[in-house]
Amino acid sequence: EIWRYSNIKCCTYPLRGIDTITDGGQIDWNSSLMSIVSGKTEDHLDMLDNMVIERLLNDKWSSFARVTFVRQLVLLCLHLLSLTTAVFLRNPRGDQPLAKRIICHIAEACVLSGCIVSIFALQAKEIYLQGFAYYLQNLKSYPEKFLYQCSCILIILAAPCRVLYFLTNNITFGYVEDGLVSLAIPGTFLFFLFFGRIYELTGAFIVMIFEMITGDIATFGVIYIIVITAFGQ
């Protein structure tokens, strides 16, 4: 308690064990705030009624989380715009106007650059700060983010196939590139769901959908593949 006037008082609370960041700058995975975010039971939600937790969340959001959220959302929109432009303007036959080919190549370069920066810069930084084990634990909590990173890797792998196709004129490399890009597009657009988690109207539905996908639907998919593989000979 710092000061008191009648029934009004000003107090400071220690954040050790409450905030996700320790005094040394490391992530405290056993903190109260981390338990609220990653908790799987209904009991942990009662901690949100705490005035200290509510004030801490509001301060973290207004201090840096809001700016980071908006910046990542804008970058994702630009990335998806470039990806959509590259896909719709792409013409393997090469008989389209020069202006469209230039725009298509610029969009493809922007998409590839964004994927390289996302994997080799941003994700490498997260692994360095969090540690590989905790990084995987974080990805497990956000499947849409994991799908987006897989999509970036697929697009990066598609680039050598494009080069080999032009050098060897082997249509197989073209088919491989088309397949990789086709798999990458849905995962990229699904990353929008990550940003919908913050809204009260859509957040619960997004979490429920991905729990169904990673649970029942994933189990059904594995069983289906095993049955088709075993009896499809």
Is 197 within the bounds of a domain? no
Is 227 within the bounds of a domain? yes
Is 222 within the bounds of a domain? yes
- Residue 209 structural domain: 204-233
The helix/strand/coil state of 143 is helix
Distance CA 92, CA 86 (A): 12
pLDDT in tens, the chain (233 residues): 677 887 887 777 677 777 777 777 677 777 777 777 766 666 666 666 667 777 777 888 888 888 888 898 899 999 999 999 998 888 766 677 888 888 989 999 999 999 999 898 888 888 887 778 878 877 877 788 888 999 999 999 999 998 998 888 888 888 888 888 988 888 888 888 888 877 777 777 877 777 777 677 667 777 777 777 776 55
Is 228 within the bounds of a domain? yes
Selection from 83, 149, 154 nearest residue 119 by Cα = 149
Number of domains making up the chain: 2
Is 3 within the bounds of a domain? yes
Is 130 within the bounds of a domain? no
Of 27, 49, 71, the last residue of a domain is 49
Burial pattern 138-172, b for ≥16 Cβ within 10 A else e, equals: beeebbbbbbbbebbbbbbebbebbebbeeeeeee
Distance CA 224, CA 230 (A): 10
Is 232 within the bounds of a domain? yes
Of 19, 34, 49, the last residue of a domain is 49
- For residue 155, the model assigns a pLDDT of 93
